Amino acid sequence: MIQYLKIKNFGPIKDEVELSFEAILNEEMSDDIYSVIMPDGCKLLKLAYIYGANASGKTTILKAIEFLRKLLLNPLLEKSEKLDFEPFLFCEDAQTSRSSIEFAFYANQRRHVYQINFNSEAVISERLVYYQSAKPTEIFNRETDLEKRLAKIQFGSKIKVPAKERERLEANTLHNNTVLGAFAKTNADIFELEALNMWLSTFFLGMITGNSNITSPIAEMMATNPNVSTWLNTFMNKADRQITKVHTESDDTLSTILKNFDIKNTDKFPQGSVKINSSIDPATGSFTDKFKINGAAVAVTRRVEVTHETPAGSFILPIESESTGTQRYFALGAPLYMLVHSKALLLIDELENSLHPDLMKHFLQTFLANAGESQMLITTHNVGLMEEIDFIRRDALWFAEKKEDGSVDLYSAADFDSGILRKGASLVNAYRAGRLGAKPNLGSPFIPQN
């Protein structure tokens, strides 16, 4: 689970901002469903919200985490590739200033802190430590010679790595790769890095936006795991009581395709398979994923269909024929299943898009009541949630606000003293009155006549 995240010089973020999942208000009524106690006694929240006006930097926080996920798990393959981000641009030294992210998290029963400094060209330095006591134990420290574009990796004294393994990893750590990213593509036996790579690959579920189309991976989950289909049947009935079943159909079953390659385990694609691309046929609602298996191209075409039970009978429609809100809720169903049945993090930008406020709240309640050590970070404009003083916690409520220089300020409702926000006071009234900031500066609706 994430303890905190610090971000500097990333997009509209200029000075360092910090978002923390640490529960600091122990008197909150919702403590039982909101928080999880770590092995060292630290209490972490499962859910955090970010509010703010348009262009205030809310989404940038999510993008920074998604950027970090890709750096750690999907390394760049070419030396000429640049890191996919922009620094703070409203200053003269934008392209030469360093950016940084610090990420504190609990993995495999240990607290870790990962620090990385970078620019658009290279990973300049990074350090990873873990804590078994008050003193950190270093796993590795990496520095990059920017002129030679070479990385130098030093492992901590308690991390036993044979010289050949270190040299192999160092050779694969391009100047635009992280150490963990390079390890993911290196045939090296380093226990500490292998354990973290496995944890990270299952922890980061990615980011869902209003433009995300994840029907294809959800259909793949449904085809390979019947429990997901059962879960979605109940889940989708909350959005539309007439929906009784959601299922996937394919032109060829996965097992049939893989049998042609003489592959024994026909429940999933073999290791080394690569997805080439995906496409959707608007006329039929079918989507096709193209893979490369053992050097040969294979196409899998699937459809997601929804069964409606009405007084006039039973009707089956493609998911594309459903309302935008129903499709949005479907896209949230499988990720929620993964959050409940594993330890993971999901980022959702503007969760309220196309969802009724009651349905949005029910989604969050389902997560909080059923997830164990999973977390969600969402951005939203739904101020109605603030009316639920027995549901939303002040230390889970964050605000992003644009400062005069165009940079982002990030702060929590828990930061306000009792003079501005006393205990038990209405969050929504304080926000609407402007006492908490992070609101549009609109002025009069009347347009002056020239």
Overall average pLDDT of the 101-112 stretch: 97
pLDDT of residue 215: 83
Q: Two tokens at 92?
A: 């003269």
Nearest Cα neighbor of 11 from 73, 56, 69 is 56
What is the tally of helices (H) and strands (E) in the chain? 11, 20
* Residue 93 or 4, more confident: 4
pLDDT bucket at 251, cuts 50 / 70 / 90: low
Per-residue burial over 25-35, b = 16 or more CB atoms within 10 Å of its CB, e = otherwise? eeebebeeebb
Res 381 pLDDT > 60: yes
Of residues 227 and 276, more confidently modeled: 227
**Cα–Cα distance between 69 and 83 in angstroms, integer?**
13
Is the pLDDT at 309 greater than 50? The verdict is yes
The predicted pLDDT at position 229 comes to 93
The residues pairing with 305 across neighbouring beta strands, listed in sequence order, are 247, 318
Tell me what pLDDT residue 283 has: 58
| List of domains in the chain | 1-210+349-450 (3.40.50), 212-331 (no CATH)
Between β-strands 35-37 and 17-20, what pairing exists: parallel, antiparallel or unpaired?
unpaired
Place of tokens 């060829």: 252
Q: How far is CA 59 from the centre of its chain?
A: 11
**Pairing between strand 123-131 and 408-412?**
unpaired
In whole angstroms, give the CA distance from residue 332 to residue 323.
14
Residue with tokens 């999901």: 346
Residue 218 contacts residue 331 (beta carbons within 8 Å): yes
What is the rounded average pLDDT of the residues 363-383? 96
Task: Taking residues 100-122, report their average pLDDT.
Answer: 97
Predicted local distance difference test score (pLDDT) of residue 267: 47
Q: Which residue has the tokens 């070419």?
A: 78
What average pLDDT does range 290-300 have in this prediction? 69
Amino acid (one-letter) located at 35:
S
Is 287 a residue whose pLDDT tops 80? no
C-alpha span between 264 and 255 (Å, rounded) = 9
DSSP string of 192-221, one letter each residue: HHHHHHHHHHHHEEEEE-TT---HHHHHHH
Name which residue leads in pLDDT, 388 or 347: 347
- The Cα 4–Cα 2 span in angstroms is 6
- How much is the average pLDDT of 69-92? 93
Candidates 310, 305, 302, 342; CA nearest to 326 is 305
Q: What is the per-residue pLDDT across 28-76, written as a single tens digit (0 to 9) for each?
A: 556 778 999 999 999 999 999 999 999 999 999 999 999 999 999 999 9
For the chain, give the mean pLDDT: 89
pLDDT for 314 equals 95
The number of beta carbons lying within 10 Å of the beta carbon of residue 181 is 23
Q: Which tens digit of pLDDT belongs to each residue from 152-189?
A: 999 999 999 999 999 999 999 999 999 999 999 999 99
Query: Residues 350-379, buried b or exposed e (16+ Cβ, 10 A)?
Result: bbbbebeeebbbebbeebbeebeebbbbbb
Closest CA to 400 of 433, 418, 378, 417: 378
| Tens digits of residue pLDDT in 120-154 | 999 999 999 999 988 999 999 999 999 999 999 99
Tokens representing 34 are 């909101």
